[in-house]
Amino acid sequence: MPETGVFLFSTMVTAAPPELLNLALNAGAIAPEGAVLLALLGTLIVDLAGEKAAAKWAPPICYLGLIASLVLLALQWNGPLEDAFLGAFLADNLAIAFRAVVALSTLISLLISWRYAEESGSPVGEYAAILLAATLGAMLLCGSTDLVSVFVSLETLSVASYLLAGYLKTDARSSEAALKYLLVGSAAAAVFLYGASLLYGISGTTNLQSIGLALATTPTPLAAVGLVFILATVAFKIAAVPFHQWTPDVYEGSPTPVVAFLSVGSKAAGFALALRLLVGCFSAFDSQWKLLFTVLAVLSMTLGNVVALAQTSMKRMLAYSSIGQAGFVMIGLVCGTEDGFASMVLYMVAYLFMNLGAFACIILFSIRTGSDRISDFAGLYQKDPLITLGLSLCLLSLGGIPPMIGFFGKIYLFFAGWADHQYLLVIVGLVTSVISIYYYISVIKMMVVKEPQEASDVVKKYPSIQWQKLGMPPLRVALITCVIVTAVGGILSNPLFQWANNTVSGTPLLQEAISLSTQVKEIV
């Protein structure tokens, strides 16, 4: 029977015209994903040779694959639109931008992972392979234009994320985090499938553009039910309130480098999914889903930043901070204008560097002390000025303090919201930004203001560090890069603004949504 299937498939491939094969297997559109896949296979092969071989060869293979992927993405920029998998994947500027964010977040996450994995005694090869699998799913999700490809990409990302969350097998908290993530994620996947089946039943197709046309011509109440299910899945992926319950526990229990990737790479893929589904499919329900997202944004900004005030763990605090940050990004999504979409892209890039920089500092501190409690950072400036400076700059940027890159990202979001008359979102955003500054500054105060005798017991036992002799160059490279971009990126942000605007202008999907939104506002 298997031989018959192989014979039939080879016959179909041989008989198929070259045009059909080129359409189905367009290597140009998915070349960046191909580089990641080759790195994944290479990592698995060297892992078979043993842990010593994996520890030696897995890092350069991962670096090579991810850098090649970023170069291929740069070559695709502003090029002709290419699709693959019979139109189920589209490499437009939107997909390129978010895929670049995902690939870069994985590269930095790997740089801060090796020493952490070594200290925890975890196999390096398996960890890198699973992280690359999650990256592959996230990158494919950013460009998926079909319900089937969306689901396959989403599950590739999700299953790999479950494995990463529970990677520390001897840590009960890690196993608990993976179990919670699996249960909630499985429910979200089932909800998505139910909503997708409704959309397929209404339109008779799985192509997102065709579904959007069908819903625009004959909107039905059943489509509104499908919208609710789809929106729930998107809200789960970006950790928006009230679909955020998994976030604090998963962030606290998972390995810290995994949390760094989930907070940026997975969230970027979630926002790309939101744009593809909500903007592409539900233009007929534009006012409805924007109203729902307005509520989600207000709840996320409020709850995320208020609850973060009471946290005693750095990872838990950044978990609630990420919920609030998702609320800020949703302002651009609700606007539906060119500035709104561009501000989303710009803020995701800013969030990439300032958040991963903060996690790099936390990993460095935990490697030296085994703790991530905020109170244990008291007086750290006396023993480790580099971590103190880096963490302070990243936290100030997350709070939106000028001239950091986070300040310019938030200003762009608030400007887009105010121009689109989203006054409630902007006011809530401004108020909750002030609240967030309080708990970010509290950590900085803990590190810097404390007198030597007030330092925590952990810091008092903190060994003196000679950085030039410290054997963790990848972690230092990641930290210094993130801190420099965070500190200088705001002052030199004009190229980022232009890049974000080109992302929107080079994406037909977003241009159509902007044109439609403008026409509706003129009629009203």
Domain containing 488 equals 286-524
Segment among 21-35, 130-144, 246-260, 415-429 with least mean pLDDT: 21-35
In a domain, 56, yes or no: no
pLDDT of residue 466: 52
Percent of the chain having pLDDT more than 70? 91
User: Does residue 259 sit within a domain?
Assistant: no
C-alpha span between 391 and 444 (Å, rounded): 8
In angstroms, the CA 48 to CA 204 distance is 46
Q: In Å, how far from its chain's centre is CA 133?
A: 15
pLDDT tens string 108-121: 999 988 888 877 77
> How much is the average pLDDT of 316-324?
93
- Confidence at residue 6, expressed as pLDDT on a 0 to 100 scale: 35
Query: What is the end-to-end Cα distance of the chain in Å, rounded?
Result: 62
User: Which pLDDT belongs to residue 244?
Assistant: 87
- Alpha-carbon dihedral sign for residues 301, 347, 127, 117: negative
Query: What was the pLDDT predicted at 9?
Result: 34
Residue 145 pLDDT class (50, 70, 90 cuts): very high
201 against 490, higher pLDDT: 201
Cα 112 to Cα 436: distance, rounded to the nearest angstrom = 26
User: From CA 189, how far away is CA 394, in angstroms rounded?
Assistant: 34
Structural domain contains residue 302: yes
Three-state secondary structure string covering 228-288: HHHHHHHHHHCCCCCCCCHHHHHHHHCCHHHHHHHHHHHHHHHHHHHHHHHHHHCHHHHHH
Mean pLDDT of 25-34: 84
| Domain-embedded: residue 137 | no
* Residue 213 maps to a domain: no
Query: Predicted confidence band at 305 (pLDDT cuts at 50, 70, 90)?
Result: very high
Q: What is the model's pTM?
A: 0.92
Say what the pLDDT of residue 12 is: 39
Beta partners for residue 89, in sequence order? 84, 144
Instruction: Give the model's pLDDT for residue 435.
Output: 94
SS (H, E, C) 51-114: HHHHHHHHHHHHHHHHHHHHHHHHHHCCCCCCEECCCCEECCHHHHHHHHHHHHHHHHHHHCCH
Higher pLDDT, 105 or 519: 105
Who's near 381: CB < 8 A, 6+ residues apart?
388, 447, 448
| 493 within some domain | yes
The amino acid that residue 5 corresponds to is: G
Average pLDDT over residues 6-19: 42
Candidate from 153-162, 166-175, 246-255, 431-440 with smallest mean pLDDT: 166-175
What is the predicted pLDDT for the residue at 273?
A: 92
Q: Are 420 and 332 in contact (CB under 8 A)?
A: no
Amino acid at 96: I
Whether 319 is in a domain gets the answer: yes
| Per-residue model confidence as pLDDT tens digits over 369-379 | 888 888 888 88
Q: What is the pLDDT confidence band of residue 524, given thresholds at 50, 70 and 90?
A: low
How many CB atoms sit inside 10 A of residue 419's CB? Answer: 13
pLDDT above 90 coverage of the chain, percent: 53
Q: Which residues touch 498 (CB under 8 Å, ≥6 apart)?
A: none
pLDDT tens for each residue of 330-340: 999 999 889 99
| Bridge partner list, 83 | 90
Instruction: Please count the structural domains in the chain.
Output: 1
Assign 174 a pLDDT band (cuts: 50, 70, 90). confident
Comparing CA positions, the residue from 301, 264, 263, 294 lying closest to residue 278 is 294
What pLDDT score does 2 carry?
38
Say which amino acid occupies 510: L
Residue 260 falls inside a structural domain: no
Mean pLDDT over 17-44 rounds to: 78
The residue written with tokens 């502003």 in the block is 78
How far is it, in rounded angstroms, from Cα 384 to Cα 361? 11
